[in-house]
């Protein structure tokens, strides 16, 4: 084993100094080539009033090595062994992976950290803490911490709330710790997509950026920390409650996988690492993403077979391929106060079961999808009346209600088995292609037998998904959580789509999708054309803006299109034809988010990996400070190819009127990728909340 161990893939390198007994990541970023340097030359200075040896953030930053930031591993044996001194005991690896084993025999602890660079350049970190002592050890936290260089001076994370997920927030990195904690018992609406640090002013397409993501759907923390010593680190880890993880002698805690991306091409480069890695998974959906119609904003709880059949007919006529029956089909579920837990078809509303609707849908060539919320229970349900002890609680007291519902204690094996069999029965007895799996409440006080159980619950939920998928491998599953409150790579390991947000307001969606897609590739990001007047904001948007916004995701409809005008239905059908022609590109291309100089305009694109074609939307989010729109540049194209530039949407004669128009929208010119990237094209005047969709096709 060399003293400076370098692993490399996809143009990224990680260099670990293993010359002493305290492994230190000395570099994560651009590949420096062979690191032929004496590790001692990389040691920092020692100040006069300081520890008498150089201090660096160890692979496991720890008090015993002089680290005055957050220690990576925290815990104790009733107060003892509070400060382990981990020393390297062994390591192995190859060109792209490195496993390091560390131990403190006196404290009775061992840690194993596996660092693996995927071909996309995404770094995966898996770690475990073992109790080798002879008394129980209470673990408080086990973080993964990676250093970033001092020239990373700004941080970025995302936050949000219901119907407003994934909004970015940026700050200068100063001494101290900026921590994003999630105590929702689920990922959370405010959960950050990544915790990132970058060079001054880094943007979508420029600057160096380092970013971490925790693949976990329970409580979590993400932070950026700069010490007075001058070190900057990024850290993430599961957030544990007191007593939640007590390792018996020989016991082990396995931390959720941490994903780390470095880019010298701004945030688009970070996305490329995540998207490439996700797309390379054997489980990644590769069939063309079907156009969805979801019934929620069309009929809500008002289920009626004839109405739904009519909706299915209308859906099939405009080109829908997957019809999803949302909440309201099961026993007692006439409103959101009752029924959760009773996963049987409501015979009063569905006297013939779901089969008549399913057959109607399938006869029209569409797949059938069904909504479930398996982790939840209404107190007004047969399940709660029969098994009141199956409700997760901190002790004897009930947690506060949220949407009138509580949580099934899935750490209870009987409750878990019951829910599994109920779901299995639904899928076995009905011809169902797709489940929309919802989770609609924060769960702050999850408890099993009086002990905090967020971790146990999260693992039990994962096991439920895994077993159901094993039994029904052809059923696709969407992860929904009051919109986008469960968007993380832990849930995405077992699902095929996320519901991004409960808002279908296209203006809100422009921002939410842009920042969700920092992490998640668009083909997994549910995006629906909602009603003309948004149910979440009351805004009224033209169909063109709604359809172009939904195009950069997994396209669907959530609108009672029986009530739409004939003209709107024709335009919707036309937009669906455009989506179907472009969806392979959307599912495989590189995301391009231009750093457009006008904050009122958002330019989003996808460019085919071979540069043969691209799709861009130009969306006016607000009124502009400029009388006349600034030219839009198209990034990511092959500079040496010529592209035919065509307006794909809106369609129709008045789409871009003469007075506000520009010549190229009619001329469909053939222009070089270099010119389009450097000069760009002038834009027609758009009203706020209007958009254009442009296709660029390389000349054969």
**Catalytic positions, written as ranges:** 438, 502
Q: Which one, 70 or 486, has the nearer CB to ligand GLA?
A: 486
Answer yes or no: are the C-beta atoms of 21 and 87 closer than 8 Å. Answer: yes
- Shortest distance (Å) from residue 343 CB to ligand GLA: 15
Query: Which has the closest alpha carbon to 477: 514, 526, 428, 522?
Result: 526
- Shortest distance (Å) from residue 327 CB to ligand GLA: 3
Q: Which one, 296 or 552, has the nearer CB to ligand GLA?
A: 296
- Shortest distance (Å) from residue 405 CB to ligand GLA: 10
Answer yes or no: are the C-beta atoms of 465 and 424 closer than 8 Å. Answer: no
CA–CA gap between residue 162 and residue 166 (Å, rounded): 10
- Shortest distance (Å) from residue 584 CB to ligand GLA: 27
Q: Which one, 221 or 502, has the nearer CB to ligand GLA?
A: 502
Which two structure tokens, joined as six digits, stand for 335?
A: 């409103």
3-state SS of the chain: helix, strand, coil percent to 5?
A: 20, 30, 45
CA distances from 101 to 22, 142, 289, 624, 629 (A): 11, 15, 43, 57, 58
Give the residues lining the site for ligand GLA (CB under 6 A): 296, 326-327, 371, 438, 440, 480, 482-483, 499, 502
CA–CA gap between residue 230 and residue 236 (Å, rounded): 20
- Shortest distance (Å) from residue 372 CB to ligand GLA: 10
CA–CA gap between residue 521 and residue 276 (Å, rounded): 9
- Shortest distance (Å) from residue 651 CB to ligand GLA: 29
CA distances from 46 to 19, 57, 215 (A): 19, 14, 37
Q: Which one, 350 or 499, has the nearer CB to ligand GLA?
A: 499
CA–CA gap between residue 104 and residue 62 (Å, rounded): 12
Which two structure tokens, joined as six digits, stand for 273?
A: 């690492």
Q: Which one, 159 or 405, has the nearer CB to ligand GLA?
A: 405
Q: Which one, 274 or 555, has the nearer CB to ligand GLA?
A: 555
Instruction: Give the single-character DSSP code of 96.
Output: S
Query: Which has the closest alpha carbon to 28: 8, 57, 56?
Result: 8
- Shortest distance (Å) from residue 534 CB to ligand GLA: 14
Helix pair angle (506-516, 543-551), 10° resolution = 10
Answer yes or no: are the C-beta atoms of 293 and 308 closer than 8 Å. Answer: no
- Shortest distance (Å) from residue 416 CB to ligand GLA: 22
Strands (E) across 189-231 are located at 195-198, 209-214, 220-226
Q: Which one, 35 or 292, has the nearer CB to ligand GLA?
A: 292
Q: Which one, 110 or 438, has the nearer CB to ligand GLA?
A: 438
Query: Which has the closest alpha carbon to 206: 124, 269, 278?
Result: 269
Answer yes or no: are the C-beta atoms of 609 and 676 closer than 8 Å. Answer: no
CA–CA gap between residue 191 and residue 246 (Å, rounded): 26
Answer yes or no: are the C-beta atoms of 638 and 609 closer than 8 Å. Answer: no
H-assigned helices in 431-565: 454-471, 489-492, 506-516, 543-551
- Shortest distance (Å) from residue 480 CB to ligand GLA: 5
Answer yes or no: are the C-beta atoms of 325 and 295 closer than 8 Å. Answer: yes
Rg for the chain, CA atoms, rounded: 27
DSSP code string of 255-300: PPPEEEEEESSHHHHHHHHHHHHHHTSTTS--S--PPEEESHHHHT
- Shortest distance (Å) from residue 434 CB to ligand GLA: 13
567-571 long-range contacts, Cβ below 8 Å, gap at least 24?
568/532, 568/543, 569/314, 569/317, 569/318, 571/543, 571/544, 571/547, 571/650, 571/651, 571/652
Biggest distance spanned by C-alpha atoms of the chain: 83
Sign of the C-alpha dihedral, residues 200, 204, 205, 209? positive
- Shortest distance (Å) from residue 188 CB to ligand GLA: 14
Q: Which one, 333 or 360, has the nearer CB to ligand GLA?
A: 333
Query: Which has the closest alpha carbon to 564: 546, 582, 551, 580?
Result: 546
Q: Which one, 157 or 496, has the nearer CB to ligand GLA?
A: 496
Q: Give helix then strand counts, H and E, for the chain.
A: 13, 38
- Shortest distance (Å) from residue 481 CB to ligand GLA: 7
Q: Which one, 19 or 378, has the nearer CB to ligand GLA?
A: 378
Q: Which one, 225 or 438, has the nearer CB to ligand GLA?
A: 438
Residue nearest to ligand GLA (CB): 327
């Amino acid at each position: 084993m060399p003293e400076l161990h370098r692993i490399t893939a996809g143009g990224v390198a990680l260099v670990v100094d293993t010359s002493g007994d305290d492994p230190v990541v000395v570099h994560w970023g651009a590949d420096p080539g062979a690191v032929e340097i004496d590790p001692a030359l990389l040691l920092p200075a020692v100040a006069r009033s300081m520890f008498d040896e150089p201090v660096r953030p160890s692979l496991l930053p720890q008090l015993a090595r002089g680290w005055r930031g957050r220690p990576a591993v925290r815990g104790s044996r009733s107060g003892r062994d509070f400060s382990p001194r981990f020393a390297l005991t062994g390591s192995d690896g190859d060109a792209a992976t490195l496993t390091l084993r560390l131990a403190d025999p006196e404290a009775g602890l061992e840690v194993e950290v596996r660092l693996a660079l995927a071909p996309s350049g995404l770094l995966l970190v898996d770690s475990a803490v073992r109790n080798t002592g002879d008394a129980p050890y209470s673990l408080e936290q086990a973080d993964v911490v990676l250093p970033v260089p001092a020239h990373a001076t700004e941080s970025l994370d995302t936050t949000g709330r219901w119907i407003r997920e994934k909004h970015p927030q940026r700050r200068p990195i100063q001494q101290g710790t900026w921590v994003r904690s999630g105590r929702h018992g689920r990922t959370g609406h405010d959960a950050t997509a990544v915790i990132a640090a970058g060079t001054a002013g880094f943007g979508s397409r420029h600057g160096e950026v380092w970013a971490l993501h925790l693949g976990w759907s329970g409580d979590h923390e993400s932070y950026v920390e700069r010490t007075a010593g001058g070190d900057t680190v990024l850290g993430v880890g599961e957030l544990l409650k007191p007593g939640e993880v007590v390792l018996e002698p020989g016991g082990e805690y396995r931390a959720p996988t941490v994903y780390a991306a470095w880019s010298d091409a701004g945030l688009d480069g970070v996305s490329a690492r995540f998207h490439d890695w996700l797309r390379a998974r054997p489980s990644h959906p590769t069939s063309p993403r079907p156009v969805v119609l979801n019934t929620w904003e069309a009929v809500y709880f008002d289920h009626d077979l004839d109405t739904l059949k009519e909706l299915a007919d209308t859906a099939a006529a405009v080109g829908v391929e997957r019809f999803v029956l949302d909440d309201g089909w099961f026993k007692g579920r006439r409103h959101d106060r009752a029924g959760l837990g009773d996963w049987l078809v409501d015979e009063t509303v569905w006297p013939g079961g779901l089969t008549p609707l399913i057959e109607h849908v399938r006869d029209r060539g569409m797949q059938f999808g069904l909504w479930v919320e398996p982790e939840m229970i209404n107190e007004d349900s047969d399940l709660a009346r029969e098994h009141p002890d199956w409700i997760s609680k901190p002790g004897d007291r009930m947690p506060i209600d949220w949407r009138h519902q509580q949580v099934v204690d899935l750490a209870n094996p009987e409750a878990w088995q019951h829910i599994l069999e109920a779901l299995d029965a639904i899928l076995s007895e009905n011809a169902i292609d797709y489940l929309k799996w919802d989770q609609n409440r924060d769960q702050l006080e999850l408890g099993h037998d009086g002990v905090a159980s967020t971790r146990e619950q999260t693992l039990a939920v994962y096991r439920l998904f895994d077993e159901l998928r094993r039994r029904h491998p052809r059923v696709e599953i969407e992860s929904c959580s009051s919109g986008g409150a469960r968007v993380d790579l832990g849930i995405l390991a077992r699902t095929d789509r996320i519901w991004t947000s409960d808002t279908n307001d296209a203006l809100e969606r422009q921002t939410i999708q842009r920042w969700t897609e920092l992490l998640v590739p668009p083909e997994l990001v549910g995006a629906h054309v909602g009603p003309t007047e948004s149910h979440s904001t009351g805004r009224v948007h033209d169909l063109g803006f709604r359809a172009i916004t939904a195009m950069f995701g997994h396209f669907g409809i959530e609108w009672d299109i029986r009530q739409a005008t004939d003209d709107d239905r024709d335009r919707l059908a036309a937009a669906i034809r455009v989506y179907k022609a472009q969806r392979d590109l959307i599912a495989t291309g590189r995301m391009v988010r231009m750093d457009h100089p006008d904050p009122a305009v958002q330019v989003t694109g996808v460019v085919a990996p071979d540069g043969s074609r691209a799709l861009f939307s130009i969306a006016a989010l607000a009124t502009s400070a400029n009388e006349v729109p600034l030219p839009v540049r198209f990034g990511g194209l092959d500079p040496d190819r010529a592209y035919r530039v065509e307006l794909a949407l809106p369609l129709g004669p008045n789409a871009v009127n003469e007075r506000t128009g520009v010549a190229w929208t009619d001329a469909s010119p053939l222009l070089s990728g270099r010119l389009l990237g450097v000069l760009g094209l002038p834009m027609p005047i758009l009203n706020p909340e209007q958009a254009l969709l442009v296709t660029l096709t390389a000349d054969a």
